[in-house]
């Protein structure tokens, strides 16, 4: 069946190319050629410079296979597929970005054909990317549309006819995805448009049912716990409810960190007690399972957190902060360890892995202790170059003037400097502990000697001396204190582009929270500042993160998937890395192979042929 105006595909292509060449200000009327919906979509596509080239289809593959939209659509799509059996019509579901997140093939033999048109899970069909199509256009236009043949903006889709409708959130009426019925251009039927509208309504009703189940469970928990004066928080992956006391502590960052913490718990009973380090409180947690199979949690905090412990926006000018932003995320446990170590008169050894923020935590603590001159910072790895030991004289003079000294990278201290290190410790111990009687009690505190070191890299002769003269403070790795990540990330993004600051989406923040951070805070800083400079003023999505962040939550493969993975790896090896040849040997389309490579976590070298 041809388009309603019986315009040949060649004439449609000519009209579209004419519009592209002449630009949006061209006054050519297309009413005799295409419907107003298609013309408006063409013009939108041109305005955002969508591509008509087949290679414009991006394989994103960034979605939750157990997400609520997929769960709501599953039974609807299965029902329509059974009803349309034998008609050659397939169904496609997209999320709000236009990414295909599910499909049902009406004819298995057509699978390769759809794959060649990139109509498979994980590919981006947004109108901004590939122009007019049956998934992206309903999202942009917020209404159902039928796109036939060459009415598609991208030539890869011209063999298809697609009728699609937007899916609205049942409460907010915000577009959260789309559903499309697609077939070969010779098989399309005008009823497909009505079918897409009906399928969309069915999915919206199913969404309301699923949402009501979770909302009811959360609401019931709130009623049971509402007599508590302490904060009560109910949350699932997408939503949060809280009482009045909980409003002061709740934020999108806390939601993300709590969800990551709770989803990893091993449940042995109905309730558990957990620690929330970012708030310095304990909480009693109860798990709630909804009818859709996902979980929600109800938390009752042990007390109302102190205002000082509630995460806040980083302000680099506040006392106790520094240019790294680490001071603004100064964990209570580290501050307590510094205070305890600082009760004695001798040196303090700050121990931790490289990049964990030892210097920055030290600066934050010293700044909070004394408003006097900044400390003298020396690096042990440079001391062999100081033949005249001028560093030692400078350090003694600083201590005599009441100025603290920080000696970094103590693991690189030459053996010849050990006696001078002991002498500096003696110098700080000889200072008066308190100002003499009659003097201002607000006078600066005595100078401190702080040594930063990586114990794993320290030679025995250094470790032995440190154990004799210094009280230790251990700085945990970033992977051990991931609750700091939201505050640190906000600061590093702000530092990268202060005038046009980027922010993190919830999914992107989850990607950061799940990474193991072998380079600690230094790695986080380099990552966020690079992203902030590359994407100023944007809400960073999971796709913007480096590849290794997007694979951290990969699930365990089933036995069947493991067998499939082994077969694909063997085919790639036998083809010498040629993915087209491997796909043919496996009996699947090349696009399907790309999709399975990503889904099964198969890493392929850059030199492999496409």
Q: What are 318-372's pLDDT values in tens digits? A: 333 334 444 445 566 788 889 888 888 889 999 998 888 898 889 888 887 765 6
The fold of 479-550 is: Helicase, Ruva Protein; domain 3 (1.10.8)
pLDDT of residue 186: 83
User: Is 223 within 8 Å of 296 (Cβ atoms)?
Assistant: no
- In DSSP notation, 266-301 reads PPSSSEEEEEETTTTEEEEEEEEE-TTS-EEEEEEE
Written out in words, the top-level CATH class of the domain with range 9-209 is alpha beta
Tokens 């957190």, residue located = 305
- In DSSP notation, 464-476 reads HHHHHHEEEEEPP
User: Is 298 within 8 Å of 288 (Cβ atoms)?
Assistant: yes
Reading phi first (left if > 0) and then psi (alpha if -120 to 50, else beta), residue 232 is in beta
Cα angle 414-416-418, degrees, rounded to a multiple of 5: 85
pLDDT of residue 557: 60
In terms of CATH architecture, what is 326-431+445-476? 3-Layer(aba) Sandwich (3.40)
Q: What is the dihedral of CA 192, 196, 202, 206, to 10 degrees?
A: 140
Q: What are 158-212's pLDDT values in tens digits? A: 999 999 999 998 867 889 999 999 999 888 888 999 999 999 999 998 887 776 5
Q: Quick one: which of 148, 491, 515, 155 has its CA closest to 326?
A: 491
Domain ranges of the chain: 9-209, 226-309, 326-431+445-476, 479-550, 559-599
- In DSSP notation, 79-146 reads HHHHHTTTTT-EEEEEETTSBEEEEE-SSGGGHHHHHHTT-STTBB--HHHH-S-TTHHHHHHTS-EE
Using CA of residue 511, residue 513, residue 516, residue 517, what is the dihedral sign?
A: positive
Residue 127 in tokens: 């109108």
The Cα-based distances of 28 to 15, 19, 154, 543 in angstroms read 9, 8, 21, 39
Q: Does the fold of domain 559-599 match that of domain 9-209? A: no
In DSSP terms, 232 is beta-bridged to 300
pLDDT of residue 376: 93
pLDDT of residue 48: 87
pLDDT of residue 321: 37
- In DSSP notation, 381-401 reads GGGGG-TT-HHHHHHHHHHHT
CA 304 to chain centre: 29
Written out in words, the top-level CATH class of the domain with range 226-309 is alpha beta
pLDDT of residue 313: 45
The 3-state secondary structure of 161-190 reads EEEEEEEECCCCCCEEEEEEEEEEHHHCCC
Q: Residues of 129-145 as b/e, b for ≥16 C-beta within 10 angstroms?
A: bbbbbbbbbbbbbeebb
Q: What number does CATH give the domain 559-599? A: 1.10.10.60
Q: What are 16-26's pLDDT values in tens digits? A: 888 888 766 66
Tokens 């006392």, residue located = 319
**Average pLDDT per block of 10 residues along the chain, 610 residues long:** 66 85 69 85 90 86 82 93 90 94 85 86 93 96 94 92 93 87 89 94 86 57 60 80 81 81 76 82 77 66 72 39 44 80 90 88 83 83 70 91 92 90 92 55 74 92 92 88 81 83 80 84 89 86 76 58 79 80 83 76 51
């Amino acid at each position: 069946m041809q388009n309603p105006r019986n315009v040949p595909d060649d004439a449609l292509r000519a009209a579209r190319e004419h519009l592209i060449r002449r630009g949006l200000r061209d006054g050519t009327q297309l009413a005799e050629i295409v419907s107003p919906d298609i013309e408006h979509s063409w013009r939108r596509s041109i305005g955002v410079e969508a591509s008509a080239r087949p290679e414009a289809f991006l394989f994103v593959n960034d979605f939750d296979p157990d997400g609520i939209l997929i769960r709501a659509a599953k039974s609807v799509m299965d029902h329509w597929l059974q009803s349309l059996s034998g008609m050659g019509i397939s169904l496609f579901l997209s999320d709000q970005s236009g990414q295909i997140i599910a499909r049902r093939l009406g004819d298995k033999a057509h699978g390769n054909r759809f794959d060649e048109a990139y109509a498979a899970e994980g590919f981006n069909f947004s109108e901004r990317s590939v122009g007019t199509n049956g998934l992206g256009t309903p999202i942009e236009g917020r209404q159902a549309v039928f796109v036939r043949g060459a009415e598609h903006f991208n030539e890869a889709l011209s063999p298809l006819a697609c009728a699609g409708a937007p899916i609205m959130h049942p409460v907010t009426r915000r577009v959260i995805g789309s559903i499309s019925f697609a077939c070969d251009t010779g098989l399309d039927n005008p009823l497909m448009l009505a079918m897409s509208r009906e399928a969309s309504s069915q999915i919206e009703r199913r969404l309301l049912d699923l949402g009501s189940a979770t909302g009811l469970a959360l609401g019931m928990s709130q009623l049971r716990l509402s007599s508590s004066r302490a904060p009560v928080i109910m949350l699932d992956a997408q939503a949060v409810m809280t009482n009045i006391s909980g409003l002061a502590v709740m934020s999108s960052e806390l939601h993300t960190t709590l969800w990551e913490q709770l989803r990893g718990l091993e449940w042995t009973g109905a309730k558990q007690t957990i620690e929330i380090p970012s708030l310095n409180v304990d909480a009693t947690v109860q798990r709630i399972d909804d009818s859709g199979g996902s979980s929600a949690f109800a938390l009752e905090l042990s007390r109302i957190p102190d205002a000082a412990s509630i995460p806040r926006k980083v302000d680099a000018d506040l006392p106790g902060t520094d240019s790294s932003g680490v001071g603004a995320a100064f964990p209570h446990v580290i501050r307590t360890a510094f205070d305890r170590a600082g009760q004695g008169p001798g040196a303090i050894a700050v121990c931790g892995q490289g990049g964990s923020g030892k210097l920055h935590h030290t600066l934050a603590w010293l700044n909070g202790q004394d408003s006097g001159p900044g400390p003298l910072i020396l690096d042990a790895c440079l001391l062999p170059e100081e033949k005249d030991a001028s560093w030692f004289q400078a350090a003694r003079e600083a201590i005599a003037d009441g100025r603290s000294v920080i000696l970094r990278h103590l693991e690189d201290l030459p053996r010849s400097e050990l006696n001078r290190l002991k002498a500096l410790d003696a110098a700080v111990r000889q200072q008066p502990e308190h100002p003499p009687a009659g003097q201002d009690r607000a006078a600066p505190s005595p100078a401190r000697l702080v040594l930063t070191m990586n114990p794993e890299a320290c030679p025995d002769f250094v470790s032995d001396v440190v154990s004799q003269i210094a009280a230790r403070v251990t700085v945990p790795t970033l992977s051990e204190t991931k609750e700091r990540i939201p505050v640190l990330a906000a600061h590093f993004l702000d530092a990268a582009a202060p005038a046009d600051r980027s922010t993190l989406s919830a999914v992107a923040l989850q990607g950061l929270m799940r990474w193991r951070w072998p380079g600690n805070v230094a790695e986080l800083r380099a990552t966020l500042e690079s992203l902030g400079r590359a994407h100023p003023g944007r809400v960073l999505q999971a796709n913007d993160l480096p590849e290794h962040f997007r694979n951290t939550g990969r699930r365990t493969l089933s036995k069947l998937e493991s067998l499939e993975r082994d077969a694909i790896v063997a085919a790639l090896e036998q083809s010498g890395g040629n993915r087209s040849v491997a796909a043919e040997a496996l009996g699947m389309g090349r696009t399907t192979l790309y999709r399975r490579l990503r889904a099964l976590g198969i890493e392929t070298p850059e030199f492999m042929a496409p």
